[in-house]
Amino acid sequence: MFGYIKPFKPELKIKEFDTYQAVYCGLCHQLGKAFGPFAKMTLSYDFTFVAVLSMALRKNFCGFQKTRCMANPLKKKTCAVPGEDMEFVSSCAMVMLYYKVKDNIHDSGLVKKLGCYILLPFASSARKKAVRLYPELDQIFAEMMKDQFQLEKDKTVSVDAAAEPTAKALQAVFSMLGDGETEKRVLSRFGYLLGRWVYLLDALDDLEDDLKAGSYNPFLLKFSVDNLSEEEIKEILDYGKGTLNITVAEMGTTYELLELYRYKTILDNIIYLGLKASADSVLSGEKDKKHKGEF
């Protein structure tokens, strides 16, 4: 995904940091085991958040184990034990990767397009494996990319409409984490709001790059921007901040309806502090953007 959904590290306790790191490493291990070493490149904070939330919703707990890491084979690291949660999240990552590669082939310049063609066979193979486990994921992400393509082709001015494909995709994905009608309904709404928030923040983060490249950005169209003066940037960011705040406020209210069996302090940190820190970084121009490296 985008790398915005991560903890605010200064407020994490040491044991919370170690637990989060173990889930992060466990997901990395699962990606490599299920889809090959190259799949580990898709590891992100966003998918780690989905894994933590999924594990928090389960009564049964697989626990942790010591295992060796390719990055440091001489020292064993603590990792979450692979289970259904990790399997689902890693499958999401692979299906999303495939459609992202396809989209980049359509939209990118020659150099990036050639790189995507090289990556496509791996992405296609990984997608087939993932879809055998979770066939619903293919339809979710295929529809997301189709709807997003049409919105961009139509140069949709509405920021709300532009965020819908991502919001609906995460709505469907998060619904799959739940057991029972009530939990699924809450997770569905939470996923929708999170997807909307991620899309809006990413669009704000990409303002300057999209303007230079002539790429679609609903904020640029809404404010009819031809060049980004300081006044125009401030106007857009002020509007975006208000929209993000409304979205994250409802997200927090929805999150509190979930029954969690573990990791609540970590999830609280991400939702109430981490999301704000990511947004503040983008809105202030301090771009630690889309960082997918080790936490």
Residues with Cβ < 8 Å from 292, sequence gap 6 or more? 3, 43, 44, 45
* The two structure tokens encoding residue 238: 């002020």
Mean pLDDT score across all residues of the chain: 91
30-39, 133-142, 195-204, 286-295: which has the minimum mean pLDDT?
286-295
Per DSSP, helices labelled H in 57-134 are 84-107, 110-133
Q: How many Å from the N-terminal Cα to the C-terminal Cα in the chain? A: 16
pLDDT for the residue numbered 292: 44
Nearest Cα residue to 107 out of 47, 149, 54, 167:
149
Burial 164-191 (b: 16+ CB within 10 A, else e): bbbbbbbbbbbbbbbeeeebeebbbbbb
CA 222 remoteness from chain centre:
25
- DSSP annotation of 286 reads -
Q: Which residues contact 254 (CB under 8 A, 6 or more apart)?
A: 186, 189, 190, 193
- The confidence score (pLDDT) of residue 204 equals 97
Neighbour tally for 89: CB within 10 Å: 26
User: What is the longest distance spanned by two Cα atoms in the chain?
Assistant: 56
The residue whose two tokens read 């189709």 is 146
Q: Please identify which residue in the block is written with the tokens 């010591």.
A: 66
Supply the pTM of this predicted model: 0.92
Residues 6+ apart with CB under 8 A from 231: none
Q: What does the pLDDT look like over 22-75, one tens digit per residue?
A: 999 999 999 999 999 889 988 999 999 999 999 999 998 888 888 887 767 777
Q: Per-residue pLDDT tens for 149-179?
A: 999 999 999 999 999 999 999 999 999 999 9
% of the chain surpassing 70 pLDDT: 94
The mean per-residue pLDDT over the stretch 243-249 comes to 97
What's the pLDDT tens digit per position in 80-118? Answer: 988 899 999 999 999 999 998 988 887 666 777 788 888
Eight-state DSSP code of residue 271: I
Residue 12, pLDDT > 90, answer yes
Q: Most confidently modeled of 117-126, 191-200, 204-213? A: 191-200
Rounded Cα distance, 99 and 88, in Å: 17
* pLDDT tens profile 120-137: 999 999 999 999 999 999
Closest CA to 77 of 14, 28, 25: 25
Instruction: Work out the percent of the chain whose per-residue pLDDT is above 90.
Output: 73
Mapped onto helix, strand or coil, the DSSP state of residue 242 is helix
How deeply is 111 buried, as exposed, middle or buried, from its count of CB atoms within 10 A (0-12, 13-18, 19+)? exposed
- HSE-CB at 166 with a 13 A cutoff on CA atoms is 19
- For residues 169, 221, 219, 217, the Cα torsion angle rounded to the nearest 10 degrees is 50
Is the model's pLDDT at 291 over the cut of 80? no
Structural domain spans, the chain: 88-283
Question: Rounded CA gap, 139 and 149, in Å?
Answer: 15
CB neighbour class for 70 (10 Å; exposed up to 12, middle 13-18, buried from 19): exposed
In this predicted structure, the answer to whether residue 220 has a pLDDT above a threshold of 50 is: yes
CB atoms within 10 A of CB 125: 14
